[in-house]
Structure 1
C-alpha cells in the first residue's frame, strides 16, 4: 500500500490546514463581535452589519470541524456494540463504516459542487458590504473532498481497533516521562 502513504501524509497536512482555517474563522468572528462591542461602548449605537458578517463564517467552522473530528476518530460510533463482535464481524463492520463515510464524502462533493456552482445570490451584509453566496457554499464540496482524502487513513479513523491497554500504557508512560523532565 505504498500508494496510500502519500495520500495519508496529504490527509494529515490538509487536516492541519483545516484546523488553522477553523481557528482563523473563530478569531475573525470574535474580532467582528469585539469590534461591534467596542463601537457600541464608544458611540452608544450599533453596527448593523456585524451579526450578518460574523454568521457567514459558521458554515466554514461547522463543515471543516466535521472533517477534523472525523480524522481524529471523534465521529459518532457505536464502539461498545462493535467491539463485542467477533474479529471477522468487527472488520466487516469497520469496512462498512468506511464505505458509508466515503459515500457521504462523495455525496457532499458531488451535490456540494452543484450547490456551489449554481449559487448566484449575493448576501447584503450592508449597503457597502455584499458577499457572494459562493463564499459559504464552496465549503460543502471542499469538506466532501477532505472526507474522501481522510478515508485513505483506513481503519485508523475508527476506534474499533484501538487496543485500550496499549493506549493506557502509552499515556501512563508519557505522563511519567513528562514529570521526570
Structure 2
C-alpha cells in the first residue's frame, strides 16, 4: 500500500522526536538535581523547589517512552505462546493485539484530551515558579496520537513476526562490517 509509506516515515520521524524529548527531559531532571546537589554543597541548605520541578518531567518520560517501546516491539508480549500457534492463528492473534493497542491509543487520546482540557490546577513549585497542570496533562493525548500513528507500521510492531534467523544474520553482518571497517582504518 503506497499511501502507508509516507505515514510510516512520519511515524519514524515522530518516534525520533519522542526519543529526543525523552532524553531532554532526563537531562533537564539531572540538571535540576545536580543544581540542588551543588547548592547543598555550597550553602549547606536545600532548594525547596528542585524535587517538585524535576518530577514534573516524569509523565513526559513515562508516556513518551511507552510509545518508543511500542515502535520497537518492546512492549509486553507473550511471544513464546504466540509463536507456537499455527500461522493462521498467529496472524489472528497479531491482529487482535494491534486492535487492542489501537483501542488503548484511542482511549488515551479521548480521555487524555478531556483530562487536558479539565486540567486547571497550577503546580506551585515555589513562590515564583508556578507550572500549569496542562504541562503534564497534554502528554496523555499526545501519546495516544503517537500510538495510533505507530499502528501504520502494522505487524512490524509485534515481535511475533521477527524471524530469528534473519535477525541473527543481520546482527552478524553488522558486526562483520564494523570489524572490517575498523581494520581498514587501523
Report the secondary structure of 1:131's partner residue.
strand
Gaps of 5+ in 1: none
Return the alpha-carbon distance in structure 2 between the equivalents of residues 170 and 7 of structure 1. Answer: 25
CA distance in 1, matches of 2:121, 2:177: 56
Determine the structure 2 residue equivalent to 1:130: 130
Q: Which residue of 2 aligns with 1:24?
A: 24
Aligned equivalents of 2:7, 2:33: Cα separation in 1: 38
Deviations 1:8-58 (A, max 9, x none): 110000000000000000000000000000000111110000000000000
Structure 1 residues 61-96: Cα deviation after superposition (integer angstroms, max 9, x where no partner): 000000000000000000000000000000000000
Aligned length: 181
Deviation at 1:102, TM superposition (A): 0.5
Measured after TM superposition, the shift of residue 115 of structure 1 is: 0.1
Unaligned 5+ runs, structure 2: 182-186
1:111 equivalent in structure 2: 111
Aligned residue in 1 for 2:66: 66
Aligned to 1:8: 8
In the TM superposition, residue 105 of structure 1 has moved relative to its aligned partner by: 0.2
Return the TM-score normalized by structure 2.
0.96
Shift of 1:174: 1.3
Poorly superposed stretches of 4+, deviation over 4 Å: none
Q: TM-score, normalised by structure 1?
A: 0.99
TM-superposed CA distance for 1:108, in Å, is 0.2
| Backbone CA RMSD of aligned residues | 0.5
TM-aligned CA deviation for residue 180 of structure 1: 1.4
